[in-house]
Amino acid sequence: MMKKLFSKILVLGFLLLSCVPCVNASEDKQTLGELKALYQQKLQEQEENNNKTEEAKAEIAAKEAAIKKAEGEIHAAEAEEQRVQEEIDESNKRIDELTEEVKKVLLYLQQMRSQNVYVEYVSGASSVTDMIMRIAAVEQISDYIQTTIDNLQAEIKKNEELKQELIEKQEKLKKQAEEYRKVIEARYNDISEYDKYALDIDEQVKSLKTKLDSAKEKCEKYAPDKGDNAIISEDCVQKVTYGDGTVIVNDGWLKPLTHGIITSVLGSRWGSFHTGLDIGGPSPFEGTPIYAAAAGVVSGKTYHYSCGGNMLFIDVNVGGQAYTTYYYHLLEFNVEVGDVVDQNTVLGLVGGYSTSIEHGGYDYCTTGAHLHFGVATGYYNGYSISTSRMIVPPGFPNTKGWSFSSRYQMYNG
C-alpha cells in the first residue's frame, strides 16, 4: 500500500514539475525560447520515467531469478532432509537389532557362568596367553556391540541436528522468496504508474514537438532577428490588412478545444443536413473555454437562436485561402463583432446543456453540453452560409467517436 502511495506521489511530482516552466510562459505570450525549454524539460521527464521503468523491470528480473534459485535450494534441502531421515530410520533399525544382540550375549554369558560353561571355555585354553585372549574375547563381544550402538546414536544425533538445520534453511528460503514476490508485486505496481504517466508525457512530448517545429519555421520566416525572444503568437505570424482591421494569415489549424470527442458528424442526419461537427466531452463539459481554430476577424454573432443558440462567425485566412469558421451553442461570448482574434483567444464558453429547451433554456437543437464547430470556404459575414461550401474542419476526421487531447493533435488519415 505504501509503495503504491509513493508511486502516485512520484507521478504527481512529475506532473507538478512539468508546470514549472509555465509560470512565465503562458500560451498567449510564450516565446520561442520558453517553448524550447519546455520541450527539453518534457524530454528529460520522459527519459527519467523510461529509466525508472527499465530499473523496475531489471529489479523484477533479478528477484524472479533469486526466487528461482531459492526454490531450487528448497527442493535440494527437501531431498537432503528426506535422505537424512532415511539414514536416521536405518540407524534406529540397526540400534534396535544390536540392542537385541547385546541382550542375547549378556544372557548367554550369564548362562555360561551359572553352568560352568564359561569356566570350561576359559580353562580349556592351551596357554596363559590363550586363556587371556578367551576371557577378553567374551568380554569384548558386548563392549563392541555397545560401542557400535553409541556410535550409531551419535550419528543419529548429528543427523537430527542436520535435519533441523535443513528445515530452518527451507523456512528461511521460503520467507526470502515471499519477500521477493512482494517486491516484484510492488515494482509491477510502479511500472503500472510509470506507464500511466508515460501515456500522458509521451502525448505532451509529441504535441510540443509538433508545436515547436511549426513555431521555429514561422519565427525564422517572420521574425528571424528576434531569435528565441520572439513571441510566437505575435511576432511569428504574417499580418495583412482586412477591411477596417488586421487579419492573420494562418499557416495551419488548431483545435477549438483542448480536448473532446466527436459525437455527431457533418452531413445527413435525422432527415436533414448537419452543418458541422458536434464535439462533447466528460462532464462537466459546459463552461469549457472555446478557442479560435484559426486567427481572423469576428464577422457575426447571433443571440439565442432557436436552433443553434448563441452562434459566432469568424472570417479567417489559412494558407492564402479564405474560410468562415462558426461556433454554435455557446454559453456566453467573450468577443465582439470586428474583434481581431488569434489562435489563443478565448471566444466564449461551451453551452448546450443549460441553454437547451430540455433544461430550461431556449435552444431546440441541443440536449447536452457540446460545441457545434464548422468550416466553410469563402467569407459570408456571418449569414446565409451555403451548405455546398461546408467542409469537414481540417485536422478532424468526419468520424463519430474520434477523440483528441490537445489543440495540436491533427488527424492525418
The mean per-residue pLDDT over the stretch 318-346 comes to 90
pLDDT of residue 6: 40
Question: What cell numbers appear for 59 in the block?
Answer: 529489479
| Alpha-carbon gap, residue 291 to 344, rounded angstroms | 6
Q: Does residue 24 register a pLDDT over 70?
A: no
Q: Where are the beta strands (DSSP E) in 149-305?
A: 238-242, 245-250, 260-264, 267-269, 272-274, 277-280, 289-291, 296-305
Q: Does residue 161 register a pLDDT over 70?
A: yes
Q: Does residue 390 register a pLDDT over 80?
A: yes
| Alpha-carbon gap, residue 155 to 147, rounded angstroms | 12
CB contact at 8 A, 332 and 348: yes
- Mean pLDDT score across all residues of the chain: 80
Specify the residue for cell string 518534457.
Answer: 42
CB contact at 8 A, 163 and 81: yes
Q: Does residue 380 register a pLDDT over 50?
A: yes
What pTM does this model have?
A: 0.48
**pLDDT tens-digit series, residues 174-186:** 888 888 888 888 8
Question: What cell numbers appear for 255 in the block?
Answer: 483545435
**What residues pair up with 317 in beta bridges, in sequence order?**
249, 322
pLDDT of residue 266: 94
pLDDT of residue 139: 65
**pLDDT tens-digit series, residues 278-293:** 999 998 999 999 999 9
Closest by Cα among 392, 395, 394 to 277? 392
Return the minimum-mean-pLDDT range out of 71-75, 390-394, 396-400: 71-75
